Amino acid sequence: MPAVRLRTRDFILPYFVVGGKDKKEVIKNFPGVFRFSFDRLIKEADACLKLGLDKILLFGVPEKKDDLGSAAYEENSIVAQAVREVKKEFPCMVVMTDVCLCAYTTHGHCGVLKPGLDCRIDSRRTLDALTKMAVRHAEAGADWVAPSAMAKKQVAAIRAALDKNGFKKTKILGYSAKFASNFYGPFRQAADSAPAFGDRSGYQLDCGDTKAALNEIGADIKEGADMAMVKPALSYLDIVRLAKQKFGFPLAAYNVSGEYAFVKYGAKTGLWDEKKMVFEVLTSIKRAGADWIITYHAKDVARS
């Protein structure tokens, strides 16, 4: 077996997008990651392409939230605008969008909730919202939509809605095996998306459950995903390997915000060399079987 090599083209760099102009907001406990307004995002996209990074994943951070997450699927949603701007300037950039309600709902859960405080997802209304959101992104020119709400049958519903609206070519990256993890801390600050009550264990996977993870991946493939994902990456590399062996299907792994923060803070304290650590971490993800890696380190690696 040949040794694994990292390639810049295998990385996807996440971005948080806010409204307004000339904004580059610092995010507490998320060193080196910012919230950008559209104009600044264009400059970022330009810098990425110059480094050979041609894939970005956009997360919207809206100004207003409500119980239904309606800012996620309104006509000119923050992400739709961002996609339009980037694609207009750089048609060759592969633009991917996160499709989930947690940053848009007042309660911070990933779907529309049934009444009550026990965080049960209203499946019909959630799928309705997610499909509208995906179609909005596709209309704006997104190449890929990435549903991450862990709503049952979300991939099938989104595929059908995209096809019906004439977006047969828009691809779907399913966040198939998404675990209820402690590694999402910095992200939740970035997107202001921590649940206001309860947790996500009702719809995200239990950390010890390999079978459920493989079932979810199998289901997304059947429902029409073009690529599946395991998230987080590092504590779940066995799942990445098993999924690759079992399905032989294109697979991404998300080197999430908490994993990134470990490396950054350790390097800041002098515990290790950041560059070498990043290289080792990303190589291990690739070695486990990930084709693409979503990582906040992407620009740093591409630069070195």
**Distance between CA atoms of residues 134 and 219, nearest Å:** 19
Distances in Å between the Cα of 199 and the Cα atoms of 49, 66, 112, 207 are 38, 18, 14, 14
Q: Which of 102, 127, 133, 302 binds ligand PBG (CB under 6 A)?
A: 102
How far is residue 267 from each of residues 234, 271, 272, 278, 279, measured CA to CA in Å?
18, 6, 5, 10, 13
Ranges within 186-205 binding ligand PBG (CB under 6 A):
187-188, 193, 200
Nearest approach, Cβ of 102 to ligand PBG (angstroms)? 5
Q: How far is the CB of 247 from ligand PBG (least distance, A)?
A: 22
Applying CB under 6 A, which part among 85-93, 161-169, 181-189, 284-292 lies near ligand PBG? 181-189
Of the residues 55, 65, 171, 231, only one is catalytic, namely: 231
- Return the number of the residue (144 or 184) whose C-beta is nearest ligand PBG: 184
Residues from 238 through 257 that contact ligand PBG (CB under 6 A): 256-257
Residue 34 to residues 17, 81, 189, 192, 296, Cα–Cα distance (Å): 9, 18, 11, 13, 11
Whole-angstrom distance, CA of residue 103 vs CA of residue 18: 12
Distance (Å, whole) CA 19 – CA 73: 15
- State the nearest-atom distance from the C-beta of 69 to ligand PBG, in Å: 11
DSSP 8-state code for residue 8: G
| Residues β-bridged to residue 35 | 16, 25
Question: Per CB under 6 A, does 27 bind ligand PBG?
Answer: no
Catalytic residue among 65, 132, 178, 299: 178
Under rule CB under 6 A, residue 184 binds ligand PBG? yes
Beta strands 24-26 and 34-36, pairing class: antiparallel
Residue 103-142 contact track with ligand PBG, rule CB under 6 A, x = bound: -------x--------------------------------
Q: Please name the helix (run of DSSP H) or strand (run of DSSP E) that holds residue 109, with its range, or none.
A: none
DSSP state of 235: G
Q: Are 290 and 253 in contact (CB under 8 A)?
A: yes
Active site residue 171: no
Residues 138-177 that bind ligand PBG (CB under 6 A): 148
Active site residue 178: yes
Beta carbons within 10 angstroms of residue 166's beta carbon: 11
For 230, the enclosing helix (H) or strand (E) is strand 227-231
CB 248 → ligand PBG: shortest distance, Å?
26
Nearer to ligand PBG, 195 or 218 (CB): 195
Site stretch for ligand PBG (CB under 6 A), options 67-75, 183-191, 207-215, 241-249: 183-191
By beta-carbon proximity to ligand PBG, the closer residue of 46 and 277 is 277
Interface with ligand PBG by CB under 6 A: which range of 80-88, 98-106, 137-145, 285-293? 98-106
Q: Which DSSP symbol is given to 4?
A: P
Nearest CA among 133, 61, 141, 138 for reference residue 104 = 61
Is 100 a binding residue for ligand PBG by CB under 6 A? The answer is yes
Query: In 10 A of CB 277, how many CB atoms?
Result: 17
Residues within the interface to ligand PBG (CB under 6 A) = 98, 100, 102, 110, 148, 184, 187-188, 193, 200, 256-257
> Would you name the residues annotated as active-site residues?
178, 231
